[in-house]
A and B are shown apart, each in its own frame.
Chain A
């Protein structure tokens, strides 16, 4: 295998990792602080794609659409939190799973009703098309470079927000021990509504950013949601840093496995066996990784400091 393909796939894996991180960051904070299982986070991914896409088509500018999507998703997230999810905090995980599962059915059907069953195709603006030379004979699509860049910027911003600001300090306190933070006078409900809004924006951004490559479709967030679950389980629930590392790890391993595993298997298996076992094993790779990590570290790689033991 030549190194050009290797580098390209590495970048593709990194890009998938970025998308996963945008999803997982919101999820992990929601879990960490409020102990809430929110399956509807995948719906936010989808809503971001549809709302952002519609705004982009209406304003005739993808960038403007993306910028306008941010406040829109923030409002949608806050509405969802205050109307539907707030009543679920004190309920069991089972109730939370069921209620948010019901919300998924609702949102899927609502988007199908509003945007039709065929989904939404969003063209890329001209300046984002084409490829860019990265040196050493490697060219890579401009838009994918942009995705990676935006993702890294968001990750940096989120890191600064969580690690360096007063708001972030409160968030970390909430993730470590919600009751104690509340007793010390932190307004946990307001804090959480804001965190949820930020999570919604990140999920929506992930959905919108992927849409020019795929397209906006009903239920598009669900596969990503489950991968994001794997990510936060590996990374440790409540840890943004863990989510980032686990997301990149998951993205790279998944992509590399799908491209190269059958070649690797050729070294140890006959050709037809490798050809059929390769894709099967590749699709299972990240779950095996997750199982392996959990076997040795049941709380994930980076559980938040001082977090109470998982019940």
Chain B
């Protein structure tokens, strides 16, 4: 920590400034489409940041994290479907529901470790996915349109305004990063990291790690539910595909691509992942043919992700 100006921090600053400037930069460059692309990227970044909290620091590899995206999103869509568009109802429901689901899922899967944990989170998320598929009233596979974005009841803060929508997402991303940073640096975060490297030992010291891990799991679920809330509002649409298990896999990929156990890695990962797929998909429709092996190679050879390459050490061991 002798130099405060490291490459990793330069990239962090660059990405944040870029995110902040896009609503002005994109029209100036005659590419207004990039406003929505970046709004999407930031939502994925929020979800990836929340995943990294439990995966990077707590060693809990959740392969079902996209379920909370769906829960947050469907909270908006279903309430909207019943003509309840007030954000003061939708937001607490989205957050509360994510928290309750995360709590129940957490109690079940935190009893297990390793491969079991990965598969159980996947299966539980799959359960939520099939629940949304079987809900015929709410559109099944076809999904549900959202006529009105969440209404905060004041004209000074109206999500229908695309600039307000964009900066709301940006603010939530910054907020989540701040919360994550505070958690990781706290005593709570210390317990979390310690239990991921040697749970038995931490328990032997007298710390009830299960509770700590459960609370972290719930916090991550709520953060991701918030991302779902934003995504539903941005796209004005929800569908079961939001929580397809491919989405959960992609979240893990973004996190690893950017650098697990780093504060800002998931954001960089989301930017790289989504920009890369954006670019590759314009070249060929068979872009997965290149993208799949690319991911394998990243896993095999670029340990620590982008942030790792830039010299940022994971705060892990």
Chain A contact residues, CB within 8 Å of chain B:
31, 35, 37, 84, 87, 91, 93-95, 97-99, 101-110, 112-113, 222, 226, 229-230, 232-233, 237, 276, 279-280, 282-284, 287-288, 290-291, 294-295, 298-299, 310-311
B297, chain A: closest CB distance, angstroms:
8
A212, chain B: closest CB distance, angstroms:
25
A192, chain B: closest CB distance, angstroms:
16
In the complex, A298 Cα to B111 Cα: how many Å?
A: 7
Number of interface residues of B (CB under 8 A): 44
A-B contact pairs, 14 of them (CB 8 A): A97-B249, A98-B249, A98-B252, A99-B299, A101-B249, A103-B292, A104-B292, A105-B292, A107-B292, A230-B119, A298-B111, A310-B114, A310-B116, A311-B113
Contacts of A282 in B (CB 8 A): 134
Contact B123 A230 (CB under 8 A): yes
Report B270-281 CB contacts with A as 1/0, cut-off 8 Å. 000000000000
Contact B120 A233 (CB under 8 A): yes
Closest A residue to B260 using CB positions: A94
Contacts of B61 in A (CB 8 A): 93-94, 97
In the complex, A230 Cα to B130 Cα: how many Å?
A: 14
Contacts of B123 in A (CB 8 A): 226, 229-230, 233, 287, 290
Contacts of A283 in B (CB 8 A): 127, 130-131, 133-134
Contact B300 A101 (CB under 8 A): no
In the complex, A159 Cα to B214 Cα: how many Å?
A: 40
Contact B292 A84 (CB under 8 A): no
In the complex, A298 Cα to B108 Cα: how many Å?
A: 9
Report if A110-B289 is in contact (Cβ < 8 Å); known contacts: A84-B296, A98-B253, A284-B127. Answer: yes
Specify which of A95, A109, A226 is in contact with B289 (CB 8 Å cutoff): A109
Contacts of A104 in B (CB 8 A): 292
Closest B residue to A288 using CB positions: B127
Contact A226 B115 (CB under 8 A): no
For the A-B complex with A233-B120, A287-B123 known, give 4 more contacts whose Cβ atoms are closer than 8 Å.
A102-B292, A105-B291, A276-B136, A298-B116
Report B126-142 CB contacts with A as 1/0, cut-off 8 Å. 11001101111100000
Report if A113-B289 is in contact (Cβ < 8 Å); known contacts: A94-B61, A229-B119, A310-B114. Answer: yes
Contacts of A237 in B (CB 8 A): 115-116
Specify which of A91, A276, A311 is in contact with B137 (CB 8 Å cutoff): A276
In the complex, A178 Cα to B112 Cα: how many Å?
A: 21
Contact A294 B130 (CB under 8 A): no
In the complex, A298 Cα to B134 Cα: how many Å?
A: 29
Contacts of B256 in A (CB 8 A): 94, 98
A80, chain B: closest CB distance, angstroms:
12
Closest A residue to B108 using CB positions: A291
Contacts of A109 in B (CB 8 A): 286-289, 292
A89, chain B: closest CB distance, angstroms:
12
In the complex, A110 Cα to B260 Cα: how many Å?
A: 30
Contacts of B101 in A (CB 8 A): none
- Determine if B165 is an interface residue (Cβ-Cβ < 8 Å): no
From B256, B295, B298, residue with most partner A Cβ within 10 Å: B295
Contact A295 B108 (CB under 8 A): yes
Contact B116 A102 (CB under 8 A): no
Specify which of A108, A280, A290 is in contact with B288 (CB 8 Å cutoff): A108
Contacts of A112 in B (CB 8 A): 286
Contact A113 B286 (CB under 8 A): yes
A111, chain B: closest CB distance, angstroms:
11
Contact A102 B294 (CB under 8 A): yes
Contacts of A93 in B (CB 8 A): 61, 114-115, 118
B285, chain A: closest CB distance, angstroms:
9
A20, chain B: closest CB distance, angstroms:
13
A99, chain B: closest CB distance, angstroms:
5
In the complex, A287 Cα to B67 Cα: how many Å?
A: 14
In the complex, A273 Cα to B110 Cα: how many Å?
A: 33
A41, chain B: closest CB distance, angstroms:
12
From B119, B124, B133, residue with most partner A Cβ within 10 Å: B119
In the complex, A110 Cα to B290 Cα: how many Å?
A: 10
- Determine if B293 is an interface residue (Cβ-Cβ < 8 Å): yes
Report if A298-B131 is in contact (Cβ < 8 Å); known contacts: A233-B123, A287-B123. Answer: no
Contact A106 B252 (CB under 8 A): no
- Determine if B38 is an interface residue (Cβ-Cβ < 8 Å): no
Report if A97-B63 is in contact (Cβ < 8 Å); known contacts: A104-B292, A113-B286, A287-B123. Answer: yes
In the complex, A104 Cα to B115 Cα: how many Å?
A: 18
A272, chain B: closest CB distance, angstroms:
11
